[in-house]
Amino acid sequence: MEFARKVWKVLVAVKDGLALMVLLMFFGLLYAALSARPGAAAVQEGALLLKLDGFVVEEPSAPDPLTLLMAQQAPVGEHRARDVVRALRTAAEDDRIKVVALDLSGFLGGGQVHLQDIGEAIDGVRKSGKKVFAFGIAYLDDAMLIAAHADEVWVDPQGGAFITGPGSSHLYYAGLLEKLKVKANVFRVGTFKSAVEPYMLSGPSEASRRADEALYGALWQTWQADFRKARPKVDIARVTRQTADWLAASGNDSAKAAKAAGMVDRIGTISDFNLRLREVAGEDPRDDSFASYAHTDMADWLAANPEDQHGKAIGVVTIAGEIVDGEAGPGVAGSERIVAALEDALADDDLAALVVRVDSPGGSLMASEHIRRALLRFKSRKVPIVVSMANLGASGGYWVSTPASRIFAEPGTITGSIGVFAVLPSFGEALGQLGVTEDGVKTTPLTGEPDIVGGFSPEMSAIMQARVESSYREFTSLVAKSRGISVARAPDWAEGRPWDGGSARQLGLVDQFGGLDDALAHAARLAKLEGGDWHARYIGEQPASGLGAILSRLGASAKAGAGGDFISAVAMRQDRLIARIEASLRRLVDGRGVQAMCVECPALGFAPSQPENGAGRSLLMLLLSATTG
């Protein structure tokens, strides 16, 4: 019997080994197929299909293979804004592309600056004499800002198009913390540094409300100006302020109302849309199914049209997402990862100039300082440094921008928020209700501090506030010195207030309007590179590869139609709301150090926070941890 058991174990081990080998061979072959560089046959004469399922971002996050394998649903797709723009620009110049098709049925959003860049690239395609067609189900502001530039905007009969305008309600936890008997120990500098208000108040302070109203108003004006340029006949005031009457005039059919308003041009299903494309692009020789048309996907098109590499290199380092300590990212600006990439580039000693591409609301003050110091090492080598701000360049995102000789931004960029804060909870009263008490011996008032159980002593509170105030003075001093403005006037441009790009330019926080291309061209001039004899080298940016890339590509379209109809789009926003609540509570209990972060900026600009599976369960665990320490 013992012999039989041993044989059985051997057989099971052999079976498991064979299964593992088959699995590895499968993924190996799959990776080889997906990562193979497309040849000429991969590019079809016909349409360029840009299927923008998910978000448009500055820097896509790196998927973790194990997490993807264990996940219960496919990851939400992320498309690099620069890639979308490059695909459109190259399509405009290539005779193989007859038409560009934008599938926005699964589009979930993007930053206003990125969407305007894409809109300009679409205009470039149209100027080349080629048509651009767009299809969507539930067009909201983000999708509408892209689609408005198309020749034909299609909407599903069950869909519609709505303009809501920028704005967001913040979440406040003072009442919850009071019920849980948790005290938020807040230390901050800046009248407008509202990041800590959710833990102190049940609504925004008057100063915070005024700042948000001014910022939202400026962003709304920028959005309308760009939209009107593309669709001048749309009566935005009626669509946004007389919505019920506008819908009723079309029998409450949102698709017909959108067409009547001029926001869309044609109503039809995705099959109707594809048949229309077949009229222009031709039939697909590789697919004889109903409504197929000759097209090339964006990934294949980009792979077949690599970026130019001639001339001298101008480095571009991307600081996207929250700035944190450690090696996190991409998609999150881990300081150790970014510093290591900068040091490797500095060691190569062949960069003519450096452009810092910032799309960050800030984060850890220490992490921001580590990145700033790495940039100063380039400056000490006489390497010109230029900053290009995308949607966000606020707080710590502005801190890392101070070494630059010139800062480019857009009117829709959110910047400033020059202020710092720290927030740490204490649970003494909550634990006391559970019968937990604390006592001991102290040799000085600072022994055992900071005491997150019994509460902070006056001495520790004074130390924390002094540290925050010192950091604020350093922040304003850095800005004043780098921008050549008076530190005595800091209340006018600092105090934690976020600014739109236009206001920041008037204050001297930004030098001029322009995108990444403008910043690169300026850096080239500083490096005395004439005649365009240079190319951009993206520092620390690795091409997607490996199992994570495979699973990401497989899952990228699994949420096609994730936007669904208008109701579905609202539901997606609710999922993101849960993630925001979780992130806010985690920020409280994680015990982070001094922060230079514009916490309200992700809602104002764009820093997508994708809810993980079980976000609700994680939220409950956070609430439980707040009561148990």
Residues 457, 426: contact at Cβ < 8 Å?
Answer: no
Distance, in Å, from the CA atom of 265 to the CA atom of 234, rounded to the nearest integer, reads 12
Q: For residue 406, which of 535, 276, 511, 332 has the smallest C-alpha distance?
A: 511
Residues 439, 381: contact at Cβ < 8 Å?
Answer: no
Backbone angles phi, psi at 547, to 5 degrees: -65, -40
HSE-up (13 A, CA, CB side) for residue 592: 24
Count of beta carbons in the 10 Å neighbourhood of residue 447:
11
Contacts for 609 with CB less than 8 Å, ≥ 6 apart:
576, 579, 580, 583, 602
Contacts for 397 with CB less than 8 Å, ≥ 6 apart:
319, 323, 358, 359, 360, 361, 362, 368, 389, 415, 598
User: According to the 3-state scheme, what is the secondary structure of 546-593?
Assistant: HHHHHHHHHHHCCCCCCCCCHHHHHHHHHHHHHHHHHHHHHHHHCCCC
User: If you write DSSP's letter for every residue of 109-139 in order, what string do you get?
Assistant: EE-HHHHHHHHHHHHHHHHTT-EEEEEEEEE
Distance, in Å, from the CA atom of 517 to the CA atom of 314, rounded to the nearest integer, reads 12
Backbone angles phi, psi at 99, to 5 degrees: -155, 150
SS3 state at 179:
helix
Cβ-in-10-Å burial (0-12, 13-18, 19+) of 279 comes to: exposed
User: According to the 3-state scheme, what is the secondary structure of 429-472?
Assistant: HHHHHCCCCCCCCCCCCCCCCCCCCCCCCHHHHHHHHHHHHHHH
Catalytic residue among 193, 256, 259, 559: 193
Q: Is 193 a catalytic residue?
A: yes
DSSP letter at 405 equals S
Q: In Å, how far from its chain's centre is CA 349? A: 31
Alpha helices (H) along 187-235:
197-200, 206-230
Query: Left (φ > 0), alpha (ψ -120 to 50) or beta: where does 269 sit?
Result: beta
DSSP lists the bridge partners of residue 131 as: 99
Catalytic residue among 364, 395, 401, 457: 395
Which residues are catalytically annotated?
193, 395
